[in-house]
């Protein structure tokens, strides 16, 4: 075997070794830290709402929010990550029940949750790049009362959001 043949064989061998490792890192919808199948179903047939809308969170809900430029989004507080002024952004309000609320986004975007005028840090986060229908899911420990989800730096002019309140 000449050097070119050895180099080609080695290249193919390395590609074969790397492919399973890459697939294991992504893993599709089953790679989230907790189940998102119900969220994906909600995101498959969402109601369309405008940025700034308030949704009824008496049960799980899926919406597709029409986003606006970040400078017109009406954020309650500045997003943790500074948005580009022309990047799609928006808000979605809801009345929270005390406990853990799950928020799943259809696409890559930054999400901040605000309650009582203060940011609420996620209690948990999970994201994958190769799940058809969901990109990231977050869990927030909320008190009872109004809450505002702020979306910024979205890749498109709308985004799907599934919200699941704590069990009654």
Q: What is the pLDDT of residues 112-129, one digit of tens each?
A: 999 999 999 999 999 999
- In terms of C-beta density within 10 A (0-12 exposed, 13-18 middle, 19 or more buried), how is residue 45 classed? exposed
pLDDT at 86: 80
Instruction: Give Cα 154 distance to the centre of its chain.
Output: 10
Kindly give, in sequence order, each residue whose CB lies less than 8 Å from that of residue 58, ignoring residues fewer than 6 positions away.
Answer: 165
Closest C-alpha to 105, from 9, 32, 22, 15? 32
Model confidence, pTM? 0.83
pLDDT at 22: 26
Q: Encode pLDDT of 51-80 as tens digits.
A: 999 999 999 999 999 999 999 999 999 999
Mean pLDDT by 10 residues, the chain (168 residues): 42 32 56 95 96 97 96 94 88 97 96 97 95 95 98 97 92
Q: Are 70 and 84 in contact (CB under 8 A)?
A: yes
Which residues, listed in sequence order, are joined to residue 147 by a DSSP beta bridge? 94, 115
Q: Hey, what are 97's tokens?
A: 């029940």
Closest C-alpha to 111, from 142, 146, 135? 135
pLDDT at 168: 75
Residue 131 CA to residue 111 CA, distance in Å, equals 18
Q: Hey, what are 10's tokens?
A: 């080695």
- In terms of C-beta density within 10 A (0-12 exposed, 13-18 middle, 19 or more buried), how is residue 29 classed? middle
pLDDT at 27: 78
pLDDT at 83: 85
Residue 123 CA to residue 102 CA, distance in Å, equals 10
Map residue 43 onto helix, strand or coil: helix
Instruction: Give Cα 139 distance to the centre of its chain.
Output: 11
């Amino acid at each position: 075997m000449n050097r070119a043949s050895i180099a080609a064989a080695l290249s193919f061998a390395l590609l074969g070794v790397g492919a399973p490792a890459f697939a294991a890192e992504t893993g599709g919808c089953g790679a989230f830290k907790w189940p998102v199948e119900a969220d994906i179903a909600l995101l498959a047939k969402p109601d369309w709402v405008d940025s700034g809308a308030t949704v009824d969170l008496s049960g799980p809900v899926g919406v597709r929010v029409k986003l606006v430029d970040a400078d017109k989004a009406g954020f309650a507080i500045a997003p943790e990550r500074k948005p580009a002024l022309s990047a799609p952004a928006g808000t979605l309000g809801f009345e929270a029940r005390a406990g853990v609320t799950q928020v799943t986004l259809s696409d890559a975007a930054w999400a901040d949750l605000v309650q009582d005028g203060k940011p609420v840090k996620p209690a948990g986060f999970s994201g994958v790049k190769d799940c058809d229908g969901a990109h990231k899911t977050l869990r927030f420990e909320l008190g009872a009362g109004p809450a505002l989800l702020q979306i910024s730096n979205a890749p498109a002019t709308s985004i799907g959001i599934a919200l699941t309140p704590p069990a009654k």
